[in-house]
């Protein structure tokens, strides 16, 4: 699959194309390795090539520049399983619970593809997902760190969102490498729309500029962690989970997130390999909030299962993206990712805690 990435780069894709990145992850997620933890080493070759266009490089399969979006990965269907950790493998070579590499199966990437709404127009049919206007806005809540050589805590520079204001800002000078222009789809009969173009991405127009790798730099930035754990300070709160309804064998399991009054607060999706008996009763869970999200009704997965009274009159949902975590020896591990409505999360008994996520 590294060859596919090489072709991509040779065709002039020198910008951080998140959609192409997701397709590459899909190609690795179902692969069977001699040792399941080898997925980290196997993907390293692709990550080295991706680092030529993704500022900050790739950390355990997640691009640093889009880290908050990449953390929202999910698997679909019942043919999914956790990749067992090889006890003899060095920790830095083991896929952590927060990475898609910790599971084997079919990645469900369509939600992430729509979340990244930086693309305005492309003439490549493969990029058609970007031509669908999106209202989704993700805002990170936490600063993540990984441990580098010598134990240094190195910030994960998740910086794409800092450029989003250019979508409404038609006056400020664009960042280096970008030019503001009129959209090719604009006409005299419609309101003119400004877009951003760059020589690094011919044929593409962007709603806002995104960080690019400095072409004058000879060195490629690749994170060099000595541990697969990342750290942050995040708000946590306790909720309950209850299965919404029996799901087909090949579909993910949906769970209601309930507050302490057992009122519906959101939804969590689980891969379909969970045994039904695990979900016959309510269970208490700990959630941490990692980002906020707003999106229109038609863009919200399983909109019918969210409390309608929490939706704005204009049809926009305000949500918190949360991780369900469980602790072992002072280290938290991701169980699943879900969404809680803004009203429910902010009404909960929250507390800011230090998180070590393994």
The confidence score (pLDDT) of residue 129 equals: 47
C-alpha 306/C-alpha 256 separation (Å) is 9
- By 3-state DSSP, what share of the chain in percent is helix, strand and coil, each rounded to 5? 25, 30, 45
| Final residue belonging to a domain, choices 107, 131, 157 | 107
User: DSSP 3-state assignment of 228?
Assistant: coil
User: In this model, does residue 310 exceed pLDDT 80?
Assistant: yes
The confidence score (pLDDT) of residue 118 equals: 57
Q: 160, 211 in Cβ contact below 8 A?
A: yes
Percentage of the chain with pLDDT > 90? 44
The confidence score (pLDDT) of residue 123 equals: 56
Q: Answer whether residue 52 is part of any domain.
A: yes
Q: 72, 112 in Cβ contact below 8 A?
A: yes
The confidence score (pLDDT) of residue 280 equals: 62
Q: Answer whether residue 112 is part of any domain.
A: no
| Final residue belonging to a domain, choices 107, 140, 167 | 107
The confidence score (pLDDT) of residue 2 equals: 46
Tokens standing for residue 189: 């009969």
User: In this model, does residue 258 exceed pLDDT 90?
Assistant: yes
User: pLDDT of 74-98, one tens digit each?
Assistant: 998 667 888 887 777 677 778 999 9
User: In this model, does residue 158 exceed pLDDT 70?
Assistant: yes
The confidence score (pLDDT) of residue 254 equals: 83
Q: 15, 210 in Cβ contact below 8 A?
A: yes
User: pLDDT of 19-41, one tens digit each?
Assistant: 889 989 999 999 988 888 788 88
The confidence score (pLDDT) of residue 194 equals: 86
User: pLDDT of 205-254, one tens digit each?
Assistant: 888 898 998 877 767 778 889 999 999 999 999 999 988 765 555 566 78
Contacts with 333 (C-beta within 8 Å, 6 or more apart), sequence order: 97, 325, 326, 327, 357, 358
C-alpha 158/C-alpha 181 separation (Å) is 26
In order, the DSSP letters of 149-178 are GGG-EEE----GGGGGGGGT-SSSPPPTT-
Q: Which residue has better confidence, 331 or 2?
A: 331
Number of domains in the chain: 2
The confidence score (pLDDT) of residue 277 equals: 52
The confidence score (pLDDT) of residue 10 equals: 46
Q: Answer whether residue 217 is part of any domain.
A: no
User: In this model, does residue 170 exceed pLDDT 70?
Assistant: yes
Question: Looking at residue 22, what DSSP letter applies?
Answer: H
Most confidently modeled range among 233-247, 249-263, 290-304: 233-247
Length of the chain: 358
Q: Answer whether residue 138 is part of any domain.
A: no
Task: Write the burial class of residue 203 (CB in 10 Å: 0-12 exposed, 13-18 middle, 19+ buried).
Answer: exposed
The confidence score (pLDDT) of residue 353 equals: 98
| Final residue belonging to a domain, choices 107, 126, 142 | 107
Other Cβ atoms less than 10 A from the Cβ of 181: the count is: 13
62-63 and 153-155: which strand pairing? unpaired
Distances (CA, A) of 177 to 2, 174, 211, 263, 319: 27, 8, 9, 50, 34
The confidence score (pLDDT) of residue 60 equals: 94
Q: Answer whether residue 195 is part of any domain.
A: no
User: In this model, does residue 147 exceed pLDDT 80?
Assistant: yes
User: In this model, does residue 156 exceed pLDDT 50?
Assistant: yes
User: In this model, does residue 297 exceed pLDDT 80?
Assistant: no
The confidence score (pLDDT) of residue 92 equals: 76
Q: Treating both helix axes as pointing N-terminal to C-terminal, what angle do 38-50 and 18-29 enclose, rounded to 10 degrees?
A: 160
Q: Answer whether residue 93 is part of any domain.
A: yes
Residue span of the structural domain in which 30 resides? 2-107
Q: Answer whether residue 63 is part of any domain.
A: yes
The confidence score (pLDDT) of residue 308 equals: 85
User: In this model, does residue 187 exceed pLDDT 80?
Assistant: no
> What pTM was computed for the model?
0.88
Most confidently modeled range among 249-258, 305-314, 345-354: 345-354
User: In this model, does residue 176 exceed pLDDT 70?
Assistant: yes
User: pLDDT of 112-137, one tens digit each?
Assistant: 877 766 555 665 555 544 455 566 88
Percentage of the chain with pLDDT > 70? 81
Q: Answer whether residue 268 is part of any domain.
A: yes
């Amino acid at each position: 699959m590294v060859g596919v990435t090489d072709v991509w780069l040779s065709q002039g894709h020198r910008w951080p194309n998140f959609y192409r990145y997701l397709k590459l992850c899909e190609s690795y997620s179902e692969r069977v390795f001699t040792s399941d933890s080898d997925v980290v080493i196997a993907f390293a070759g692709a990550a080295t090539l991706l680092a030529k266009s993704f500022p900050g490089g790739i950390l355990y399969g997640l691009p640093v520049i889009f880290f908050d979006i990449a953390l929202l990965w999910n698997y679909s269907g019942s043919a999914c399983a956790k990749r067992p950790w090889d006890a003899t493998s060095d920790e830095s070579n083991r896929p952590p619970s927060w990475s898609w590499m910790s599971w084997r199966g079919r990645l469900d990437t369509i939600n992430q593809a729509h979340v990244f709404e930086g693309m305005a127009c492309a003439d490549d049919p493969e990029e058609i997902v970007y031509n669908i206007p999106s209202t989704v806005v993700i805002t990170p809540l936490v600063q993540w760190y990984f441990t580098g050589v010598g134990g240094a805590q190195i910030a994960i520079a998740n910086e794409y969102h800092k450029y989003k204001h250019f979508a409404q800002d038609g006056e400020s000078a664009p960042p280096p490498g970008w030019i503001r222009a009129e959209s090719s789809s604009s006409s005299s009969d419609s309101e003119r729309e400004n877009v951003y173009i760059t020589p690094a991405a011919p044929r593409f127009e962007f709603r806002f500029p995104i960080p690019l790798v400095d072409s004058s730099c000879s060195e490629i930035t690749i994170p060099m962690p000595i541990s697969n754990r990342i750290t942050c300070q995040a708000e946590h709160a306790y909720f309950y989970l209850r299965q919404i309804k029996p799901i087909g064998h090949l579909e993910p399991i949906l769970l209601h997130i309930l507050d302490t009054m057992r009122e519906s607060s959101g939804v969590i999706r689980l891969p379909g390999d969970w045994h039904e008996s695990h979900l016959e009763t309510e269970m208490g869970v700990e959630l941490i909030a990692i980002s906020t999200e707003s999106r229109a009704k038609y863009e919200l997965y399983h909109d019918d299962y969210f409390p309608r009274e929490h939706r704005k009159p204009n049809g926009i949902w305000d949500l918190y993206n949360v991780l369900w975590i469980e602790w072992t020896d002072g280290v938290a591990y991701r169980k699943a990712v879900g969404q809680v409505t803004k009203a429910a999360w902010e009404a909960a008994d929250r507390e800011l805690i230090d998180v070590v996520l393994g």
